[in-house]
Amino acid sequence: MARRAGVSVATVSRVLNGHRHVGAGPRARVLTAVAELAYRPDVAARSMRTGSSRAVGYVVSDFANPLFASIAVGADAALQPHGYSLVLANSVHDAAREADLLDALRDRRVEGLLVSVVDERAPGLAERLGEYPAVCLLDREVEGVRADAVLFDHAHGITGAVEHLRQLGHERIALVAGSENQHGSRARVAAFRAAAGRHLDERLVRTGELSAQTGYLATQDLLALEVPPTALLAGNNQLLEGVLAAIVDRGLQIPQDLSLVTCDDVGLARLHHPPIDVVERDPLALGRAAAELLLGRVADPAAPARRILLPTAFCARASSATARKRVS
């Protein structure tokens, strides 16, 4: 390449590594030679030489969840200008598989980790995360590890949803949420219980894996109660799929027979007829903020851990109606 460009090997190296102090003429000749020779840098060799992989691990529980896709887009937009790439890993809601993935990414010498863990209390999790030079938790809290975190203020949106349903006369409001071993689900359940107040019936609170199956089975059980709920809140978009399937199987209409609110403004909620009321949040903003925290941690490993709280908000559409009076 140096011979083709008519420059020294050192000049080629400076151009390829982005050094500023190279004249416009030599830089242009090197770039022309790069194109003519279809040169591609050996990333593995560069990593061994510099000790920098320029890679960030991204570990989540389900690639099929559009929320995680949006977070990745936001993170990549912040990382790419700095020369970093995401290495994706899917734990499929399995804490043991997640542990293996964390070990594998560590062995690949990724420079940092963006992670939404399956179970914040999984044995050995804090120790594994502590082996990384930089970690940012995605709407998760893990005790015993110094990590940055970007969280959502779930309480605000959930409280708004419950208050809206109360104003429509609903007293029996159910919640189908994920495991309380995850910050997001735990925060939603806590906010729901607080907002329900004296109307709280623990039989109307169901938790489990964030999946369509959990949503379906929980909703079937709730609708089979002697006094079923008149309104239901689905804790995320995956649960929503199962909730809707159970409502259809019961032959119920939204909102005539059951008012419905969901969390996460995905296509299913917007395009459903009627459009479903939603607790909104911005996953792109979470991805960007998490990546920026990670870049800061890479630059200053000794800095104090930082925590960012992003907002949620309730948005009423057309899936809630005045509660029907129960006939004794």
> Per-residue DSSP letters for 221-247?
HHHTSSS--SEEEESSHHHHHHHHHHH
Q: Rounded CA gap, 219 and 280, in Å?
A: 22
Strand partners of residue 152? 310
**3-state DSSP: the chain helix, strand, coil percent, rounded to 5?**
45, 15, 40
| Residue-level pLDDT, tens digit, the chain, 328 residues | 677 778 676 776 676 665 656 777 877 776 787 677 666 654 444 444 445 579 999 999 999 999 999 999 999 999 999 999 999 999 999 999 999 999 999 999 999 999 999 999 999 999 999 999 999 999 999 999 999 999 999 999 999 999 999 999 999 999 999 999 999 999 999 999 999 988 899 999 999 999 999 999 999 999 999 999 999 999 999 999 999 999 999 999 999 999 999 999 999 999 999 999 999 999 999 999 999 999 999 999 999 999 999 999 999 999 999 998 764 4
Give the torsion through C-alpha atoms of 273, 279, 280, 286, to 10 deg.
-140
> What pLDDT does residue 1 have?
65
| DSSP assignment letter at 202 | G
CATH of domain 2-40: 1.10.260.40
Q: Token pair of 324, please?
A: 């029907």
Distance CA 328, CA 311 (A): 42
Please report the pLDDT score of residue 326 as a whole number.
61
Per-domain residue ranges of the chain: 2-40, 51-151+283-308, 154-281
Task: Report how far apart, in Å, the C-alpha atoms of 53 and of each of 5, 129, 224 are.
Answer: 28, 18, 54
* Structure-derived torsion over alpha carbons of residues 88, 94, 96, 97, reported in degrees to the nearest 10: -30
Q: Which pairing describes strands 205-208 and 173-178: parallel, antiparallel, or unpaired?
A: parallel
| Confidence (pLDDT) at 3 | 77
* pLDDT for position 52: 57
Q: Are the folds of 51-151+283-308 and 154-281 the same?
A: yes
Place domain 154-281 in its CATH homologous superfamily: Response regulator (3.40.50.2300)
- The Cα diameter of the chain in Å comes to 93
Q: 51-151+283-308, which class in CATH?
A: alpha beta
CA distance 79 to 99: 24
pTM reported for the whole predicted model = 0.83
